[in-house]
Amino acid sequence: MHHRHVGLWAVAWASAFLVAARAQTPVPQDSRYEIRKEHDPDGIGKFYLGREIAQVMSHHGAPWLERPEREKEEHTSKLLPPLKIKAGDSVVDMGAGSGYYTFRLLDFVGSKGKVYAVDIQPEMLAIIRGRMKEKGVKNVELVQGTESDPKLPDAAIDLILLVDVYHEFSYPYEMTEAMVKSLKPGGRLVFVEFRLEDDKVPIKLVHKMTEKQVLKEMESFALRHVETQKHLPWQHVIIFEKKAK
């Protein structure tokens, strides 16, 4: 999981559609989705509420996720502090990829907290496992989810962070339903998406989302839009809170 930059197509692709991973996933038959023959070449031809779902980056893109210039381009160090994650929290790095944010989240939850690193690709989780061993990290739990289920415990999570990944979910409704179920009452769902509203953001169109579209896709769930942070150069940070019953 994760995004692609228009200037970095040297990143190798094992499979744009991750056929092997998808073959293991039961395919929900649902009228929520529309398949179109005419579509963006960087999308999968499947649409949800008018938005085309983007192709997924394979594990061969991991070096790009860890590129040195990422901080300069995205100001990644400025993302987490305003979220006010507390020591002892249980948080999720959804679509963790190579673990770029997984280990940064540990700085906030501390030794008594926990980070779930969720990805559908075992190769990505293997990269994180290797880094855990190098760093002597014990409080990261690796979770291999499916396209429609992140495999998280019910009502146990304080915050789920989705950095440039939601737009690649093949089953965004099912995934959101499962994520909301895993949140504690008052738990937060945080979308970090490249701004489609800004033509100057150098990312392919299907890998960008408008704030309006994210809000539209969350309307069906027991979520309250708390705020949208706009302090990052390319991305908006759209924060929802799970409503108490």
Q: What domains does the chain contain, in order, with CATH numbers?
A: 19-242 (3.40.50.150)
> Are 158 and 220 spatial neighbours (Cβ–Cβ below 8 Å)?
no
The rounded average pLDDT for each run of 10 residues, N- to C-terminus, in the chain (245 residues) is: 39 31 45 95 97 84 74 96 98 96 97 97 96 96 98 98 97 98 98 97 96 98 98 98 91
pLDDT for res 18: 33
Report how far apart, in Å, the C-alpha atoms of 3 and of each of 65, 155, 165, 185, 225 are: 9, 29, 7, 30, 24
What was the pLDDT predicted at 65?
Answer: 77
Task: Specify the pTM.
Answer: 0.87
For residue 61, the model assigns a pLDDT of 60
Please give the pLDDT value at position 138.
93
Q: How far apart are CA 16 and CA 12, in angstroms?
A: 10
